[in-house]
Structure 1
């Protein structure tokens, strides 16, 4: 799976700054054998003071330091920060439906995304997430995941 240049650079920064994150959403679907078109890449970010500091550093180095994104934004439950525009938007999530950070982290699988070693939410937790959201697209995703 090849990443767009800016997204690849962002993932490289996440890794170099040691941000604790998981790939979720549409890209995770593809990892688990149920690909579909998506206009963004979704990362679940662990909520902790140390991780909040790290992700703010990434955002500044990536060139979004002028945005009014604060450390405390990454300490809030179920918060979404969007960087950029579709089809190359980056969504940073501090929570997802149907599962906790610990459950998601404990289910993770290692994956090489465009040559970068990342962690992806496990299939069962991704299904739980999709079912809990209740949106028609997510319910269809869950069904495809269960069949893959």
Structure 2
């Protein structure tokens, strides 16, 4: 799946299938003002049976498969969506990381109130709010998160000043 990362098209497919999700990670940081570039879409999805069915429909349209180091062709199914904490997928539109549980056991219903709705290419998209994204990245404490945190904290400080 070498067509490159097509963020807007990924969001369009998820939206058309009415998947309930929150954009987190690098794309969320970019949408909130970070200049860092990412090549994947990280989404925290609602782990209800109805949403799993809608999500699976979107994943089938995207020809999604797991990014398997052994090169096996493993595809998502309802059981995996209901049980895996995270699924790292390759799709015909680029990398898609599905997150069922984030941080210290937080799920969609925990974080849905901590989101903002932004318009992205004419579509309303739910994105983790700045303070919560900062907290999640602080808890993860990975090298790439430390770099993103420099920008996110600066955005927060500038927003408070203005």
Cα deviation, 1:84-136, whole Å, max 9, x if unaligned, reads: 38x93122221222544223211111111122211111111111110111112
Q: Scaled by the length of structure 1, what TM-score is found?
A: 0.83
Of the three residues 123, 147, 158, the one matched with 1:140 is 147
How far is 1:142 from its partner? 2.2
**TM superposition outliers: structure 1 runs of 4+ over 6 Å:** none
Q: Return the index of the structure with the highest Cα Rg.
A: 2
How far is 1:146 from its partner? 1.6
Shift of the 30–7 alpha-carbon distance from structure 1 to 2, 3 Å rule, reads closer
- 1:121 maps to 128
How far is 1:5 from its partner? 7.9
Count of matched residue positions in the alignment of Structure 1 and Structure 2? 144
Structure 1 gaps, min length 5: none
Find the residue that maps to 2:96 and give its secondary structure.
strand
Q: Scaled by the length of structure 2, what TM-score is found?
A: 0.77
